[in-house]
Structures are given as structure tokens and as C-alpha cells.
Structure 1
Amino acid sequence: MSPKKLRSTRFWKTTAAGLLSMTLLIPAASPVWAAEASSTVTADQLKEVYDLLEKNHVSAPSSSKLAETGIKAMVGSLQDPYTQYFSPEELRSFENSVENQYVGIGVRVGEEPDAVYVAEVFDGSPAKEAGIQVGDKFIEVEGVSVAGKKVNDVTEKILGEEGTVVTIRVLRGEETKELKVKRQKIQLPTVVRKLFDPGIGYIQIASFSSDSDEKLAQELNVLKGQGIKSLVVDLRDNPGGLLDSALNMVKLFVKEGVLIHTSDRNNVDDPVSFKDGTTQPFPVYFLVNEYSASASEVLTGALQDYGVVKAIGTKTYGKGSVQTLFPLKSGGALKVTIEEYLTPKLRKVNKVGLEPDRKVEGDLAQLVTALRMAGSESFELTYDRKALALNGVSIVEPFDVIRQDGKVFVPARSIAALAGAEVTWNDATSSLEIASEQGKAAYGADASDYLNQNGTGFVTLDSIASAFANVKWEDNGSKLTVSVNKP
């Protein structure tokens, strides 16, 4: 297996312990370890200490534990969170994370103050086959209550070994249902295509896996065949992946140039160049947020510099370094930071991030803003038992509805974006204001039409409809529909 350039921003599954042979604990040269311990420490001394501890310490330490501890100490001395040692088991888990694979039941979950619920059920998954539906709230897993538990606690109980069965009890409306679901290897889609009226293509890229560049090209061709007039590419929450995928993706939008400038340990710039690319005949918009990292930032930064895209959302993560994966004879691997990179116009990314061209807070507000910039003038949002659709297209965005005292409250940023309005705080009046050329609504902290739930501001649809004539809504207690027409 040859070294691969990749990213390492947030890996959640590298938890298994592993073994490493003693010969790898004692490399031919260990300058970093020596600098941390003593200028006179040598590889022979390290071996001597290893032998003495293995043969004499009262705890009778195993050679594998000593070896792994030594390797992790060397890696830790670098104080680089992206340089990591992987045991064989951890390496398999790491590679699965890059390829967007895991063993589970095939759902995406969401969290609210008192429950964890199903936000999405993947097609062809064991969850789909077992009858799990969007909006189901988890009550018990394997007979143990998970009511009020955090999302990580619930998912940890649901995940398990491939081929095993997990019993889940869910609340669906007023009914409880017990379902048995077989855990299987799940391949999450890395590239998802959707089409919004009027002729707006949407492509979500979840990670830069080994084939996500090919899938992006395929899905883009399908959308072009459907006659799209603009394109929205969603890189939010994308932690990155393989640099080669980003290199192939940039060629879908720019004919030739530099993807990134790099700086190695000797401060040598070895630009990553490309040619034989193409361009697109329509405007392109990227969605990014604070979890868009590494390869996501490589692609976004390059296309911003070439003036090909407008980025919408919040400042990106700021992971501007490149790692290479070095396979070890033991079956594990060492992932080593070898370079820092800059954008084509030499903008720094590492620990800084990229600023969007249009700053927008809030997930649904970001999507709506991107669609409006891409050509949408009217919107219809439907919300039915956690299932959310925008202009008839199913979407997965954080959104909640509070029905209280005969009023219907929705997130302020979301409804403001739908209405084409901006949300600001007025210090002089200590009030939240939602305003556009079409109208204005203001909410003091004690206003009856305003709620603050866990840091999120909610406003009543009645107050919004009164202030903005182009906003209409109806609610039957289960399904909510909000329509916003062109002013």
C-alpha cells in the first residue's frame, strides 16, 4: 500500500487498541524523542530501557504494550493532533471513516432537549427494512431506557458488531413500537444529488473519499442533462479526505492552475498543479461551515481564488496541513503531517480558516440563502413529524416547531431567511429585529411572540405573517406549511 495524502480532522471511530513489533519501537533514528528527553538519548538506550522494563518491572508488562506506549509517546511529543499511530484495527476503522463506512443500522439521528430522534433513514438500510421512520424517538435500546440521554450515548448502544441484532423501542406519535434491526456495514452516500425549481442543481459532498470525485462528475452530468441554470455544492460538516479527490474536483470548474501551494519542513514550496480541466456555464455557490475542513477548504479556497464560486455560511475549520499515510510492516500505519498548504493566492488556512463571501448563521437559513442567490424567488417549507421538505424536496436540516398556548413558534433565523429578511440585535431597544424592504418585526426578551430555547430564538408565525405580507402559513397540529411568495 503506497502512502496517501489525506486529511485528519475529526475521527470518531479510532478507539481499538493494537500491537506493534519491537523493531518499530526503535527506529534507526529518533530525533524528536531525543530532543524531548535528553540530547544524549540514543536508539540503543531506548532498547536497553525497553528490555529492562519488560524483564524486571513488577507489573510484568507485555512487550506489545511497552512498544505501543513508546510509539504513542513519540507521536505525542510532536504536539500535532494530525500525526497519529494506527494499530491494524484502528487503521481499518480510519479507512472506513475516510470512505464513509460504518457498522450500524442506517439512520441519521437528531437531538432535542428530551429525546434523540431519527432524522433520516437511508435507502436499502436494515433500519428501512425494519420499518424505522423519520421522527421516531428512541425510548429503549436492548431493554435499557435511553430517555433523556445524549445522542452519543444512544448511538453507542445502537452500534455494534456486524451481523448482530439490536432491539429498539421507539415512540411514534402516541404509539410505542419495538423493532429488531440487524446491524450491517453501511456505506453512506458520499455524494448526493437533488434538483430544486427553477433549475437549481444541488450536490452534497459528505467526504472526499477515493471515488467521490468520480461521483461528483457523474451527478453533475445528470443535473446538466436536466438543464440546470445554477449549482449549489454543500460542503458543510465535510471533514475532508483524500487530496487527489479535491484535485480532480477542481478540474470540473477550472481549466488549469494551482490547487494549493505547500510548505514542507525545509520551507520548500511544491505547488500541486493541474491541467486539462473544464468550466461550467452557470454560477456555482458553495455552502460551508465551521466543520468544513481540510480537503473541503482546499477546494473552496482554490475556487474562491479563481473567482468560480461564492461561498455561503460561516468561517471554515482551519485545517491547513497535509498528511501522508505510511503503512507499517505490523499492519498498522503512521499518519504524518508533511506539509502546510496555502491557497492559490497564498492565503493561509491552517488555524485560520476561510471566510465565506456571504456570512449566514443557521443551517436552514444557509440553504435558503444559497437557493435564493442561485435563482429561487418563492419557497414552500413543510414540516411533518420531523420530516422536512423545501419546495417539494426532502432535506435534512436542524429545524423544530414549538406549539404552545395556541401559538406556533419557529426558529427566527430560518423564517427570516425564507422571508428574505435579516436578523439583527438592537442594543438601543434590547430587542431582536427581523427586517427587509417588505416589513419589520421586533421582539423584546419578554415579548409573548418570542421564545429562547437552549440559545435559539423562536418567533411566532402570526407575528411574521403580520409583518411580511408575502408569508402565509397553516398548521393542523401535525403538519406545518409555510409559503413565501416573491414580493
Structure 2
Amino acid sequence: MNRPSKRAPLFHLALCGGAIAATAAVSLFVPSLTRVRAALQESPKTVVDEAWQIVNREYVDGTFNQTDWQEIRKSLLGKNYTSREQAYVALRSALEKLNDPYTRFMDPKQYEALSSQTSGELSGVGIRLEVSEQTKVLTVVEPIENSPAIKAGLQAGDQILAIDGKQTKGMTVEDASNLIRGDVGTKVRLEVGRQGASKKSVALTRARIELPTVRYALKQEGGKRIGYIRLNEFSAHAADQMRRAIQDLNSQQIEGYVLDLRGNPGGLLQASIDISRMWMDKGSIVRTVDRRGNNEEIGTNRTALTKLPLVVLVDGNSASSSEILTGALKDNGRATVVGSQTFGKALVQSVHSLSDGSGLAVTIAHYYTPLGTDISHKGITPDVKIDLSDEQRQKLASNPKLVGTKDDPQYARALATLQKVALTQPAPATTQQAIQSQK
């Protein structure tokens, strides 16, 4: 889980704790600051020292895992690095002494990937690809809503035969994606094949695309109208997408909700807070504690979009922001939690960009659920525990369309729980209350 640095934000929305923040830390602990700056200028040591300073200033454990952090700095800056990669290796080795897998250095490519992931956007044409098992041909899984691909008429099942004249035979999805991505406003030409039609060439202009992280549907289950929402990640657009999903389902006179957080690794703290407030009218959401013992308790603000019965689905890969949302709903009695024990990540990270385009994630706080539970390495225990067998997991993984259906044992148990525990409220009245609360 990530929290913003209180410095110039790179994104205006918060990561699982906040916006990725740009910092350019300099040495504050040695004589002649100007001389040190000059010596480090254009040197791999610049990034090493920036990262060291951030950890020194923000890391949650003031003892740095019982290590002499000042001595580590001397060692880092005492070495002669012949390349940035060599400096990266030394920095990663120093961070390992903290024994914290979440405090980590990212090279420029890794940092760019994290930035794209948490922003919930990418620059491209908006298609999800796979190499078909049957044909071994690069194939469109689906075009993304409001993307250049949709506007150009691309459809699921279309084959991508060439990208800017380069044949895709034998090409991996990653290689193809790298060719298709590019700067906003630039063009890419795809040769597209479709069953029953002759192949054609399509010119697409790359655009900034909001990635869907929320998927939802109205389900008729045993005579009941159920709103099913699956949240894959807490990106910068997750809260807006969740709001639209709840509002749309409310307007369809549903009688209860299943919120699926299985496989959701977390993301932005602010997104988890905003989404919690959509489901809860009152109560605490989460409490964080930094290395100085400062407590920050974050609560609701009476902006809930619905009061309808709710079941939350979780598993062992529901982590970080997923656990904040789950813990808030569970501890406040707002939802019944169904599924497997969650992952157990109760730490907050701040993410910083460094001067050469690399990045650093540093753990800055510990969080607790509203009832004060520390879920570190333990996770959240569901109210209704149901684990999948290896065979069941494999079946769902190989056929994702079964997720959220009666062939999904955890979803089926969520429905039964909703029937037994939650669907006792008069549906029309509570639905109307939810609609009114949006006005």
C-alpha cells in the first residue's frame, strides 16, 4: 500500500496511500553541502544518496532493522560505480538489510510500469491481446471501452497479423504490446484478420486510455436481483468507476450486492478510503501509525451511495487496500465477508521518483483495522470461510467466464449468505434510499 510524499505530486490522485511524489533529496548530514552536490552531480551516486535520504527521513522503523544506517551511507558513497546498474545493485543490497520486501528500488522501466499501473491509464489503442491456443495467432481478447480500437470497429476474436508492417507470427503478447504502445497522438497501423471477412489494414491514433478496473453486472439469482461488482485493483480511476457501477445498479432496483475483491493486490490508499465511504455512512475506516507513534484515524463522511445488504468476497491474494476496505466493512458490521484468509499486508508505502527516472517505494506507516486489529502476516478471517481446492482454482483460472457464476463455489456461497443473512430488508425502500443519497 502506498501513501503520497508531502512533496510535489506527480499525480493529483492518491496511491493506496497516495500520489506518486517527485523528490530530489540531497545530503543533509555531511559538511560542505555544495561540495557534495558538485561531487555527486552526473554520478550514479546521486541516485544512491537520494534513495538513502528518503529512507533515512521516512522509514517506519527508526532503528532501520537494528542496522547503522549512517554507516551504510558511508559505504554506499565510498564506492566507485562504473555504471548506474552497478549503483542499483549496491542500493538494492543496502535496502535488503531492512528486511522489508515492500521497501524497494525500481529501475526506470520498473518505475514507469508502476506509475502506469497505479494511474490506471496507458497510451495506446486499447486492446487486450492473447496468443490463441488453437490458432497460435495474436488475437484480440477485447477492445477497451471508449478506445481508438472500439472506434475503429475492432472486435474480440480479430487476429492481429502485422503491426506497422511487421508480421506477428511467433510474436509474444508483450512484444506486440510494446510495438502498439506509443506517445499520444502518434499512429500505428494494424493488419487485421476476421473470420468470414478479408483482411484489412487499420490506422489507429494512439490515445490516453482509462483502464477498466471495475466490472459489474445485474444478476438474477433465485428470483433476486443481485448487483455483482468485481474490483481488480485500486487504481487512480477505481473510485470513479466504482461510483458509476453502484449508481447504475441502484437504478436497476437490485436487492443486494456481492463485492468481489479476490485476487486484488491493492493499490492506492485514497481509492480504498473513497470506496469505503461509498458503502458506509458512519464509522472508522483505518488507523495508521508512523515511526514517531503519530496516529491518523480516517473515517467516513456520510456519503454512502447504498445501504443495501452486502457480501464481500476475498481470497489469499486480496491484499493491502483490499484488506483496508474489507476490514472497514467487516469491523463496522456493514458486510459479511466470504472466502479465504486474506494476504496480511498492513503497511503503507510512499513512492518517490528519483532524478534519473528510477523510483523508490519506502514503508512509512503501519495500519490497523477499525477495531484495532493488526493483520500483518495473518490477514483477515472471513465470517464465512470457504477455500477452493486446487482443481477448482485451476478450473476458474482456465475459464475466467465462470468467475462470479454458480460454477464458482465461493460466489455460490456468497449468494447463499446474502439470502440467509442480508436479504431481509425491504428492497424497494432501501433502493430508493440509495438513489436519494446520491442527489
- TM-score, with structure 1 as normaliser: 0.58
Amino acid at match of 1:73: S
Cα deviation code 1:156-186 (max 9, x no counterpart)? 565455525253555x447673544534432
Does the 8 Å contact 2:234/2:272 carry over to 1? yes
Using the TM superposition, give the Cα deviation of residue 125 of structure 1 relative to its aligned residue in structure 2, in angstroms.
Answer: 1.8
**Bigger proportion of residues as strand:** 1
Alignment RMSD: 4.4
Matching residue of 1:459: none
Work out the CA distance in 2 between the residues paired with 1:46 and 1:33: 16
Distance 1:341 1:91, change over 3 A: same
Residues 246-395 of structure 1 mapped to structure 2, 5 A cutoff:
246-265=272-291, 268=293, 270=295, 272-277=297-302, 280-326=306-352, 328=354, 333-356=359-382, 357=384, 359=386, 361=388
Give the Å deviation of 1:258.
2.6
1:398 aligns with 2:400: yes
Q: Which runs of 4+ in 1 moved over 6 A?
A: 28-36, 411-415
2:258 and 2:324 map into 1 onto residues whose CA distance is 17
Q: For residue 124 of structure 1, what is the aligned residue in structure 2?
A: 146
Q: Which residue of 2 aligns with 1:186?
A: 209
Question: How many Å apart are 1:88 and its aligned residue?
Answer: 6.3
1:415 deviation in Å?
Answer: 6.6
Deviations 1:421-461 (A, max 9, x none): 99xxxxxxxxxxxxxxxxxxxxxxxxxxxxxxxxxxxxxxx
Q: Which residue of 1 aligns with 2:93?
A: 73
User: Would the alpha carbon gap of residues 169 and 360 (structure 1) be closer, same or farther in structure 2, given more than 3 Å must change?
Assistant: farther
Question: 2:32 maps to which residue?
Answer: none
Whether the 8 Å CA contact 1:121–1:134 is kept in 2: the answer is: yes
| Mapped contact 2:127–2:141 kept (Cα < 8 A) | yes
Q: Is structure 2 residue 190 aligned with structure 1 residue 167?
A: yes
| Partner residue of 2:6 out of 2, 6, 23 | 2
Matches within 5 A, 1:101-120: 101-109=121-129, 113-114=133-134, 115=136, 117-120=139-142
Match of 2:435 in 1: none
* Greater relative contact order (Cα < 8 A, sep 6+): 2
AA partner of residue 190 (structure 2): T
User: Structure 1, residues 25-71: CA drift from partner, whole Å, max 9, x if none?
Assistant: 345797989977x8994645543x33xx35xxxxxx24x55544443
Contact 1:20 1:330 in 2 (8 A): no
Change (3 A) 1:397 1:164: farther
SS for the counterpart of 1:252 is: helix
Match of 2:114 in 1: 94
Assess, with a 3 A threshold, how the Cα gap between structure 1 residues 67 and 200 changes in structure 2: closer, same or farther. Answer: same
Measured against aligned partners, the alpha-carbon deviations of 1:13-33 in whole angstroms (never above 9, x if no partner) come to xxxxxx876445345797989
For residue 135 of structure 1, what is the amino acid of its counterpart? G
Kindly state the Cα deviation for residue 341 of structure 1 after the two structures are TM-superposed. 2.6
Kept in 2, the 8 Å contact 1:284–1:309? The answer is yes
CA distance in 1, matches of 2:405, 2:226: 20
Residue identity over aligned pairs, in percent, reads 27
Question: Helix, strand or coil: the match of 2:102?
Answer: coil
Contact 2:279 2:307 in 1 (8 A): no
Deviation at 1:346, TM superposition (A): 4.0
Pairing of 1:435-450 with structure 2 (within 5 A): none
Q: Which amino acid aligns with 1:120?
A: E
- How far does residue 122 in structure 1 lie from its aligned partner after superposition? 1.4
Name the aligned partner's letter for residue 128 of structure 1.
I
Matched residue, 1:240: 266
User: 1:143 is aligned with what amino acid?
Assistant: Q
Distance 2:357 2:412 in 1: 56
* Residue 145 (1) aligns with residue 169 (2): yes
Contact 1:239 1:296 in 2 (8 A): yes
* Inter-CA distance 164–82: structure 2 relative to 1 (3 Å threshold): farther
Is the Cα–Cα contact under 8 Å of residues 315 and 340 in structure 2 kept in the other structure? yes
Q: How many residues align?
A: 354
Is this contact kept in 1: 2:288–2:295, CA < 8 A?
Answer: yes
Task: In structure 1, list runs of 5 or more residues that go unmatched.
Answer: 9-18, 55-60, 367-395, 400-410, 423-487
Report the structure, 1 or 2, having the larger helix content: 2
- 1:187-206 counterparts in 2 under 5 A? 187-197=210-220, 199-206=225-232
Contact map agreement 2:139 2:157 (CA 8 A) in 1: yes
Q: CA deviation at 1:213?
A: 2.7
Q: TM-score, normalized by length of structure 2? A: 0.64
